[in-house]
Amino acid sequence: MRASLPHRCRTPAASHSQWVALGLLASASVLAPAAHAANVDLVTNIEPVASNVPAQTFVPYQLNVSFSNINGTATNARGSIVLPANVTSVALTAASGNAPSCPAASAFSPVPAGTTAGGETMSATLPLMLNRQQCNYVLSVTPTKADSAYLMRSSMAAGSGDTETTPSTNTSENPFAVTQSNITLAVDKKITGGATQDPNDATHWIGNAYNAPIEFTVTYTNKSATPVSLGAIASKWSDWEGSWSPQIVPSGSDGGLTSCASSVDGAGSAICQALGFSGASSQAGTNVNTFLNTNTTGFGNEVMQAGESVTIKYWRSFKAPLCGSPALANTATWAVTADGVNLQWDGSGSDSSTVSFSFPIALSTQGRDCTAVNLNVKADKKLLSVQDKTGLAKASNLIEQDGDVAIYELTVDLSQDTAPAGSNRDGIDFNVYDTVLLAKGNMPTPAPANALQLQMEWISCQDSNGNCIPPNNPIQPYRPYFTPSVSQNIHVKWGTKAVMQIALRFKIDSNLQCMQQNDALQNQAAFSVVSVSTDGYTFGPSYIQSPSNANLQATQINVLPNAPYCVNLTTNKRVTPMEVPDLATPVVFDLQFANNTSPDGPKTVRQAIAKDALGPDFKATAASCRVSTGNATVPTGSLLGSIAGANNELQLPITDMERGAIVNCTITGNLLRSGSFKNVATVALQGSPAKALLNDGATEVAVKDLMPEDDVATVNYMTADAVMPPPDPAAPKPAPVPANALWSLAGLGIAIAALARRRQRIC
């Protein structure tokens, strides 16, 4: 008889599942106790990689960004970087040596695609930060404008389950000054078809035939060592055509775009896409903007790479005039209107390039030259009065209050002219342009930009025969820029004159802070003959400007002469090391104070005071300052004696600090205890009101700091052996573990015993 084998106990599937679940539950209760608020100390810092190197427009500028925790275990902290306006090409890279739990640089989002407007924030979650862990990154930004507010910010926020020991170090702020980099541009124009180059003049071409296309080729090139944002430098590309000599201009033409291509990205170039080719007809000397409509704001975020060129080809055809050999000028221009651009033009050394061309006399309708007639026309412009908004005349030419208006009179006088023999015309048609110009320097720029606006209104136009008709839009609306103009076509008979009046009305908002430029304005009229028709005559001069340079004073008005001028002081700061190994290791602060006033602002700030609050837990062992760039006056030698007060504050007077000057300071010392610390440096104007000198070095004016947010720099740092203070007795305590909780030890023991008994029954 076969012996029976021992019975093997098998655990049913259900019992196995219960055992596994209970095992997981037991493991969870041991390895991950009930969640409670962790006590953490988050520290962030943002600082320039090199504090003594000022940033330059269109050149990448780098900053170190650190996110740290020096107590407990931080869960789901949030790290953020806040960007200022006018930076582009934003890029973040992770430093080598980051812990695996540090998020990748790509986790910080959103990254601005174009030029920032200010306030854009890149954020990422730091899921796990152990005690004394750092996550380090390098931020690269490319500033597009000098003299703008570039306040960099980094911040940290604790996760929802954590509490903060020292929240004062959760934010770091560091502004930096930006100087204008050297920009080299070039524009070149050629005729590449439909005309033959003059063998006696390489810059002149001779048209082959009327009503046949002539091809023009214009090339715009960025010859700078750095990329250039066309929008940031306020670029406008235009093309125009006019009379090169006192001969009549063809009565009309048409044309079209042939091609546009970039040396970097070919015909699909974003720059080419931004150009609007008009193909407009010329009307006897009127300027023709053939590409990039100048009624728009120009370029936006289009960036021209270093060495990049954009080549545009277009054609035009010309109708035969009644007489003469018309010599024409066709010019491509590159207007750069941003203030303070340190610009050089390569090639011709100019922002324009012109080709001249003509057609043989034999090709004109009559096959003969025209009869020239010199006009004795007189153009005059004068300031009649300055009035307040109620119409009451003021005793001076000062624009001081909202609604003040300047009244001007324009005169076109043909009293000394008679009709030329054989002419069938009774007078001359003029196109009168009136524009606002500045007597010296650049246009005044209010801060904020919309605080001062200007409206131009056509009041009246009278002549002897009633042909002086106001324009269709007699009032140009208020605009924040000093560029409004009114154009008026008038017909003046021989022996008569036309008299016109216009008004400039100023709108001044209560939020006006200061003026970038406060020199006197002038109002100027330009007159050009536009009706030469086809009766065989040409009239000169064809362009008259009034008033003459000797008579500018008669048209000047002073706008807000008592408003303060804008200046801009900036601070930035760097601490080395950010994590101090021990109290014996020296801590070094590198500070930079700069006068970043725009080039059209005051030259010299009379008095500023720089401060650095070192704190009671820091003992300085050395302190000194020097002027590293430009001209300024600071105390020399050791400045330890200038550190005083309960907060250990360094106070540094800076006198006669010229525009562009930079003062660098170095403070060395030791911490007196472990922990995390904040350090704040500031610079500020002194005096009520603060004073500065204009470019003449003698005229003293009141000034105001345009961007005070640039005056303060905050860096944070900590010791590697930081000892956290004892818990606050008033802080909430973790909830106790309930005795009857399923995961309590007693409950766990009962559950295990019950499961064991069930297993025995099954077996």
Cβ-contact 62, 90 below 8 angstroms: no
Bond preceding residue 110 cis, omega within 30 of 0: yes
3-state secondary structure of 557: strand
- 456 — pLDDT class (breaks 50, 70, 90): confident
Q: What is the pLDDT of residue 386?
A: 95
List pLDDT tens digits, range 291-301. Answer: 554 434 567 77
Q: Is the pLDDT of residue 739 over 80?
A: no
Q: Bigger pLDDT: 693 or 232?
A: 693
CA dihedral 175, 179, 184, 186 (to 10 degrees): 70
Asked whether the beta carbons of 571 and 398 are under 8 A apart, the reply is: no
* Predicted pLDDT of residue 485: 67
Model confidence at 731, pLDDT cuts 50, 70, 90, reads very low
**What would the two tokens of residue 628 be?**
């590293």
Helix axes 13-31, 745-762, angle to 10 degrees: 160
Q: Looking at per-residue confidence, does 375 or 151 come out higher?
A: 151
Residue 621: how many other CB atoms lie within 10 Å: 11
| Residues 408-436, mean pLDDT to the nearest whole number | 83
Indicate the DSSP class of residue 735: P
Reported as a single tens digit per residue, the pLDDT across 606-623 is 999 999 999 999 999 999
Tens of pLDDT, residues 596-607 = 988 778 999 999
d(CA 320, CA 694): 56
Position 75 confidence tier, pLDDT thresholds 50, 70, 90: very high
Q: Which of 457, 454, 550, 548 is nearest to 509 (CA)?
A: 454
Tell me which residue of 547, 429, 548 sits closest to 488, measured CA to CA: 429
Q: Is the pLDDT of residue 104 over 90?
A: yes
- Residue whose pair of structure tokens reads 């909830």 in the numeric block: 735
Of 24 and 332, more confident: 332
What pLDDT is stored for residue 280 in this prediction?
44
What is the three-class DSSP state of 554? helix
- Lowest mean per-residue pLDDT among 54-63, 215-224, 460-469, 730-739: 730-739
Q: Per-residue pLDDT for 531 more than 60?
A: no
| Segment 193-237, tens digit of pLDDT | 999 999 988 878 999 988 888 899 999 999 998 888 787 777 888
Of 84, 58, 212, nearest in space to 144 by CA: 58
When pLDDT is cut at 50, 70 and 90, the band that residue 525 belongs to is confident
Per-residue pLDDT, 463: 77
List, for residues 244-296, the tens digit of each pLDDT value: 444 444 445 567 788 899 999 998 888 988 887 655 444 433 344 455 544 34
List Cβ neighbours of 201 (8 Å cut-off, separation of 6 or more): none
Mean pLDDT for the stretch of residues 89-102: 93
Task: State yes or no: pLDDT of 697 exceeds 90.
Answer: no
Residue 700 burial (CB count, 10 A):
12
pLDDT of residue 538: 67
Q: Which two tokens stand for residue 297?
A: 């704001």
Tens of pLDDT, residue by residue over 539-554, are 766 667 776 655 666 7
Residue 756 has pLDDT above 70, yes or no: no
Q: How far is CA 25 from the centre of its chain?
A: 59
Can you tell me the mean pLDDT for 101-130? 94
Higher pLDDT: 383 or 58? It is 383
Q: Is the pLDDT of residue 243 over 80?
A: no
Q: Do strands 162-164 and 38-40 pair parallel, antiparallel, or not at all (unpaired)? A: parallel
pLDDT tens-digit series, residues 338-380: 655 778 999 878 888 988 888 888 888 888 777 777 888 888 8
User: Mean pLDDT across the chain, nearest whole number?
Assistant: 80
Percentage of the chain beyond pLDDT 70 is: 77
Query: How much is the pLDDT for 440?
Result: 62
pLDDT score, position 35: 41
Whole-number Å distance between alpha carbons of 707 and 148? 8
- Residues 63-71 have a mean pLDDT of 95
Q: What is the pLDDT of residue 54?
A: 84
| Token pair belonging to 189 | 């124009």
pLDDT, tens only, 571-595: 999 999 999 999 999 999 999 999 9
Amino acid at 5: L
Token pair 């728009």 is found at 296
Q: Which contiguous run of DSSP H or E holds residue 11?
A: none
Average pLDDT estimate for 638-664: 95
pLDDT on residue 742: 36
Residues 1-12 pLDDT 10s? 433 333 334 333
Q: Does the CA dihedral 594-599-604-605 come out positive or negative? A: negative
Q: Is the pLDDT of residue 748 over 70?
A: no
E strand or H helix at 448: none
Which tokens sit at 756? 């064991």
Least-confidence region, from 50-64, 338-352, 674-688: 338-352
Q: Are 391 and 407 in contact (CB under 8 A)?
A: no
Q: Say whether pLDDT at 759 is over 50.
A: no
